[in-house]
Amino acid sequence: MSAPVDLRHVSKSFLGPGGIDTTVLTDVSLAVPSGGVTCIIGASGCGKSTLLRIIGGLERDYSGEASVGGRPIVGAGLDRGLVFQDHRLVPWMTVADNVAFALHRLSPTERRARVEAQLDLVGLTTSADAYPDQLSGGMAQRVALARALSHDPQVLLLDEPFGALDALTRLRMQDEVLRLRAARNVTMIVVTHDIEEAIYLGDQVVVLSDRPGRVVARMEVELPRPRDRADPVFVALRREIHHRFFTHH
């Protein structure tokens, strides 16, 4: 079986002001194994979101080949779930309606049942009728997760999903994501700029260089779960990534 997500020599540039092309990604090749968590880390502006948007089918004009489930990416689609850097809940829809928005292919009865199951999965049954403005940041991001998983995607793409959350909520959300991954057995790609988060979540960690982003390292993390952040192997790996890629001499 082909890898759920396969990128070959993907490059992307944007037309900047004054008609000047800025290259954002160069020659990124990446195979994401089925069922695992792949974390992509890199400095701000190195093209992480752009890479994820290419996989999500939201960016079109790139060079190289990108495929999901063995088929070339032609656009966005329900085979991929996307959790944006902002939670992107629709403010005029209740929590339940936000989740239901992804389920337009189901019959009303099935949809209601699925919404309920999804909210139950992230522990937000009691907030079904709340509007996004009434949620805390962590709750909103959990609804976004519930929505992205609701349509049973093959691949879940998460773009710094916890970037806006406080440190404690962040730790809890990381476990939440791992729990959801186990429950749904979905392949995940998580973009982050937090080395510790990448090692905690990832089966593999892919490091991108500063802009224009290219893959400078790919590491397997073979620590058993649940992982201990104080484990010597964990700490050593964190230090290694930090020294090799994020310390400027």
Partner 1 sequence: MSYAARLALPVALLAIWQIVTSIGWVEPFLMPSPLRVAETLYQLIASGQLLRHVGASFLRVSQGFSIAATTAFAIGLAMAVFPPVTRLADLLIQVLKPIPPIAWIPLAILWFGIGEQAKVFIIVLGAFFPILVSTVEALRQVDRRFVELARVLEVGRGDFVRKILIPSALPQIMTGLRLGFAYSWMCVVAAELIAASKGLGYLIMDGRELSQVDLVLAGMLTLGVVGKLSDDGLRVVERRLIRWRTTFAGY
Binding site for partner 1 (CB under 8 A): 56-58, 75-78, 80, 82, 84, 86, 88, 90-93, 101-102, 104, 131, 133, 151
Cβ-proximal residues to 169 (8 Å cutoff; 6+ apart), any chain: 136, 137, 138, 162
228 binds, among Mg ion, partner 1, ligand ATP, none (CB under 5 to 8 A by kind): none
Choose, by CB under 5 A, the member of 13, 38, 49, 94 that binds Mg ion: 49
Minimum distance of ligand ATP from residue 210's CB (angstroms): 10
CA distance to 141, 200, 204, per residue, from 221 (Å): 26, 9, 6
The residue (of 47 and 153) whose beta carbon lies closer to ligand ATP is 47
Is the N-terminal amide bond of 91 cis, ω within 30° of 0?
no
Q: What is the CA radius of gyration of the chain?
A: 18
Minimum distance of ligand ATP from residue 80's CB (angstroms): 17
Residues facing 32 on adjacent strands: 5
193 binds, among partner 1, Mg ion, ligand ATP, none (CB under 5 to 8 A by kind): ligand ATP
Chain residues binding ligand ATP by CB under 6 A are 14, 24, 42, 44-50, 193, 211
Burial class (CB in 10 A: 0-12, 13-18, 19+), 226: exposed
